Amino acid sequence: MSFKRLDAEDFVVSADAVQSVAWSTNSATLTEFFTSSVQANGTSGNYYLSVYQTSSFIAEAEIQFDITYGNMLGSGSSYFDPNIPRLTPATSIYGQYRSLVLEDENSNFIYGDGTNTFTPNDFWAISVDRARYKEKLFPGTFNLFLSGSGGLLKLTDNSNSTNLSTFLGPNRVYQLISGSDGTPYNTTGYAPGFGSYGLFLPDIGTILLNPAAINSSINVNSNSNPDITNGTNQQLLYSAIQQGANFQLNAQETVTSDYVFVRSRNSEFNYSSNPSYISGSTGEIAFPQFIDNPQTYITTVGMYNDSNELVAVAKLSRPLLKDFTKESLIRVKLDF
């Protein structure tokens, strides 16, 4: 075994964006949607509805995303206490997302930008299951079809029609528009008088939908009546998604690679460190032909820290012949 200290110029760091499908079906598009009656009728069903790619009774069933509903005034779900009418699961959800996205408990969600904005009291939220993506969602791949009595609405984000990223707190945000693959069908893709159709927050896997805008297009509206059965609004959006039968989404992650260039010059690594290479009695090279014309084969590159601890090992696909007439450059790639 031979050692050589690496120089700073031997290290190069590179970052690449890698795209993958978000859904566990290994397809970019979900066309079938299922729920679990156990979850929907349980305590968690008061707050959200979990959606699966197949029947929840099948072992392969995995949660793809959750649907929830938030209302600033507490309407659209049941009272925790009839004596305190504004406290409901809907207000809890509204406050949770307001803290998560806006980071200000006194702010409200605004849909749209420029002169066409709208500030409703409620929203639907789709939260993509955290197991579906490693780092973030990929803008421009979001396509969601919603179906109602007024027709079919095709939603996407406006990432292809905006030059600068907009942020809510530390999170990027895009407007939801009528369009496909990040591009509006016409002009801004907004709902006239109601701003955008919602917000797309790829860094936290969250989609907020504007019920008023959706209702203006396909007659699917949230039920904002006070003290109604919990889960009613989640079911309304689920039905629109199920009938639309098309939810496309990809994930994205940044893979950082550290390239290490290991060089063996013509005078280096020509003698083997194998004990059989040396005569045990005299300490001389066991085979005279290796004195003037030694030959070795490089098979492994080990990387050690300053404490002489092995931290990484790279195996060559085949042994690399080395002698005084040859030099080699081995590129080692470390992904993290």
pLDDT digits (tens, 9 = 90+) for 61-108: 999 999 999 999 999 999 999 898 889 999 999 999 999 999 988 899
State the pairing for strand pair 143-148/151-157: antiparallel
Q: 177 with 159: CB under 8 angstroms? A: no
Give yes or no: residues 114 and 131 share one domain.
yes
Listed residue (119, 152, 150, 148) closest to 237, CA to CA: 148
- The two tokens of residue 109 are 């969600």
User: Given a cut of 90, is residue 149 above it in pLDDT?
Assistant: yes
User: 251 exposed, middle or buried (CB, 10 Å; 0-12, 13-18, 19+)?
Assistant: buried
Indicate the number of domains in the chain.
2
Domain final residue, candidates 226, 248, 270 = 248
Q: 262 with 313: CB under 8 angstroms? A: no
Give yes or no: residues 238 and 258 share one domain.
no
Which is higher by pLDDT, 246 or 113? 246
Mean pLDDT of 245-272: 91
Listed residue (145, 133, 127) closest to 24, CA to CA: 133
Residue where the block lists tokens 């509204």? 94
Give yes or no: residues 50 and 87 share one domain.
yes
pLDDT value at residue 281: 65
- The two tokens of residue 203 are 């860094």
Task: Give residue 266's domain range.
Answer: 8-15+254-335
pLDDT value at residue 195: 96
Q: Does any domain span residue 34?
A: yes
Give yes or no: residues 289 and 194 share one domain.
no
Q: Does any domain span residue 131?
A: yes
User: 20 exposed, middle or buried (CB, 10 Å; 0-12, 13-18, 19+)?
Assistant: middle
Domain final residue, candidates 215, 248, 281 = 248
- Helix or strand (DSSP H, E) at 157: strand 151-157
Count CB neighbours of 134 within 10 A: 13
Q: How far is residue 151 from each of residues 40, 129, 176, measured CA to CA in Å?
A: 27, 28, 18
According to DSSP, the residues that pair with 172 across neighbouring strands are 167
Residues found in the chain:
336
Separation between Cα atoms, residue 263 and residue 21, nearest integer Å: 39
Domain final residue, candidates 248, 278, 311 = 248
User: Given a cut of 80, is residue 242 above it in pLDDT?
Assistant: yes
Q: Does any domain span residue 3?
A: no
Beta strand residue intervals within 181-271, DSSP E: 183-184, 198-201, 206-209, 247-248, 250-264
List, for residues 112-123, the tens digit of each pLDDT value.
987 889 999 999
Question: What whole-number percentage of the chain has pLDDT above 90?
Answer: 74
pLDDT value at residue 154: 98
Give yes or no: residues 237 and 289 share one domain.
no
Listed residue (76, 75, 22, 81) closest to 53, CA to CA: 22
- The two tokens of residue 244 are 């639309």
Q: 171 with 272: CB under 8 angstroms? A: no
Which is higher by pLDDT, 156 or 2? 156
- Helix or strand (DSSP H, E) at 329: strand 328-335
pLDDT value at residue 111: 96
Q: Does any domain span residue 150?
A: yes
